[in-house]
Chains A and B, each alone.
Chain A
Amino acid sequence: MAYLEIKNLRKSFGDNEVLKGIDLTLEKGQVLAIIGASGGGKTTLLRCVNFLTLADEGSITVDGKEIYSAAVKYTDKQLRQNRLQFGLVFQSYNLFPQYNILKNVYLAKNLRLGAQAKELFAKGNPHRPACKKSDWLKKERRQNVEEARALLAKVGLSDKEKAYPCELSGGQCQRAAIARALSLSPAVLCFDEPTSALDPQLTKEVLNVIRDLKAEGRTMIIVTHEMSFARQSADKIVYVEGGVIVEEGTAEMMQNPQTEGLRAFLSQEEENETRTANTGESK
């Protein structure tokens, strides 16, 4: 059984069927690139995986454990627990503007401590720590801050931990957002067009971070328009059009597309890339 298994995922908005039965598998440590024209359902697929919208049909399994099935009615709490299997990096970063980068990274983990402490220090819990609850919280909070620092170091933002998002470049914001998505150690990290809002130079620094994460053995899903990145770094590429996976394979698929749809899409993308490259030079 594969590490991540997505079975027959379907999603409609009113009469508009956006996902028409998506099946996907991914092994641990692999990188999956999802490509396709806008409106094809790529983003909806990613949003369904992260429970930002709930799929109407189908199931999602991670490491042998079913974390979502359309047939099951989940409580808010269960969904909140299960979605932590996935992290998501947004196109528009969505950092919290009122907190510095460091707090952006550790906030979510700190907010989980209250519930954890309540459970841990419940009467009759055999694993109840010997220390006082307030001491435990203090220790955990300090540890979360240290972990956040380590994550910022990993994405190359150690010297910016006190900076607010408004003081950073787009590339720095996106790298901070990646560190934040890693803070809860998700099994699968998802990216929704992480470089679409960035210029080529900043795109490079973000893609480098993603390459580093691949080298570490992170399992990742990336919705992207960066064809060369997909070609170089993805272990698996799927081409989505009209709510179905039209073609899937490795980087070779890009050299030798089997369907008319993918062929047309690739030549269109290539044209766009040369055009951006040309305008970039003329500046």
Chain B
Amino acid sequence: MNFSQVTLQLLQGFGVTCLLFILTLVFSLPLGLLVCAGSRTRFKPLRYLTRAFVWVIRGTPLMLQLFVVFYVPGMVFDAPIFANLSNGRFVAALIAFVINYACYFSEIYRGGIESVSVGQYEASAVLGMSKWQTFLHVVLPQVIKRIVPPIGNEIITLVKDTSLARVIAVFDIIMVAENILSLHALIWPLFYAGVFFLLFNGLVTMLLRFAERKLDYYKI
């Protein structure tokens, strides 16, 4: 296999990696807000349940969670649900990633929300704003500014975590490179795959810097 053939094959795998990355973000960023609301609710049973859930998800390996999402539904319903779908493995991986990252994001959101001073809520209250208006127009913009750096950290980790999906045989770029290794006895495509991650994260870092600069017009 020559360089361009390897590149072409790796790019196909990288497409899967990118799709997994983007879809995970699209679903987990808003879901994290919901989890965050659950862990802050005044309704105690829900609050404790949510916090226990976040504890389990953050406290166990993501690789294990991939197995659980992929195999447990099949064990419960006595039929391999994800394996029977054409892209079932990808969907299973996506679900595991979304749940895992939503929990991490929820804790970052929680920290951001709790760092907004009581005075901001009180000022909004005496100006007759509703709770929802206060959150949307006063609290949320400040939270976004505060959480961009920690969220950025998680996003960069996610780029690399996508490679875990191969444990349930999702054909991501690492899996493609491993296949080349076993079929053609070539090791360098595996290292070459690392360059894709590196370049992609360079791009992500630049976007995050841009976002931080955009939000730099005021100090909290």
Contact = CB atoms under 8 A, between A and B. Distances in A.
A92 B122 contact: no
A84 interface: yes
A228 to B, nearest CB: 28
A97 B220 contact: yes
B32 to A, nearest CB: 21
Among B119, B120, B128, max chain A CB count under 10 A is at: B128
B145 interface: yes
B217 interface: yes
Contact of A83 (B128, B130, B131, B220): B128
Contact of B126 (A88, A112, A166): A88
B123 A98 contact: no
B128 A97 contact: no
Contacts of B141: 98
Interface string B114-152: 000101101111111111010001100110010000000
A164 interface: yes
A96 B133 contact: no
B137 A107 contact: yes
A contact face: mostly helix, strand, loop, or mixed: mixed
A225 interface: no
A97 B131 CA distance: 19
Nearest to A82: B128
A86 B138 CA distance: 20
Interface string A88-127: 1010101111100000000110011000000000000000
B122 A180 contact: no
Contacts of A50: 126
Among B130, B145, B218, B219, max chain A CB count under 10 A is at: B218
A48 to B, nearest CB: 13
Given A96-B120, A97-B219, A52 B126 contact: yes
A80 B117 CA distance: 21
Given A94-B120, A107-B137, A166 B128 contact: no
Interface string A247-282: 000000000000000000000000000000000000
Given A97-B220, A98-B145, A92 B128 contact: no
Contact of A166 (B117, B120, B125, B218): B218
20 contacts: A52-B122, A80-B128, A80-B129, A81-B128, A83-B126, A84-B128, A87-B126, A94-B117, A94-B122, A95-B123, A97-B142, A97-B220, A98-B141, A107-B127, A108-B127, A108-B128, A111-B129, A111-B133, A166-B218, A184-B127
Interface of A: 50-52, 76, 80-81, 83-84, 86-88, 90, 92, 94-98, 107-108, 111-112, 164-166, 180-181, 183-184
Q: Closest 8 A-B residue pairs measured CB to CB?
A: A108-B127, A94-B123, A94-B119, A166-B219, A88-B126, A98-B141, A164-B218, A84-B128
Given A94-B122, A183-B127, A184-B127, 7 more contacts: A90-B122, A97-B142, A97-B218, A108-B124, A164-B219, A166-B219, A184-B128
